[in-house]
Amino acid sequence: SAMEYYTRLIKKGRFLDDAIRDLRDALYRYPVEVSIWQALGDAYMRSNRLQEALDAYTKAEELLR
């Protein structure tokens, strides 16, 4: 699946800007998909964009409730 591919890229720290852009685009179509929010948080974290990572993780947590 696409999410598995993005997860691997993010873990390796590769193509993070592209992954972030693609994940943000995916959220327009699937705004309540927790796995996308989590992956986006991971990508932001790897890019040292900590506030954006926290925001994405917070949104994922809110959706789980």
Query: What's the rounded Cα separation, in Å, for the pair 41 and 63?
Result: 14
Query: What's the rounded Cα separation, in Å, for the pair 19 and 14?
Result: 9
The pLDDT score that the predictor gives to residue 4 is 94
Which of helix, strand or coil describes residue 1? coil
The pLDDT tens digits along the chain (65 residues) read 889 999 999 999 999 999 999 999 999 999 999 999 999 999 999 999 999 999 999 999 999 99
Owner of token pair 């693609």 = 22
Report the 10 Å Cβ neighbour count for 40.
26
Separation of first and last alpha carbons in the chain: 25
The pLDDT score that the predictor gives to residue 1 is 83
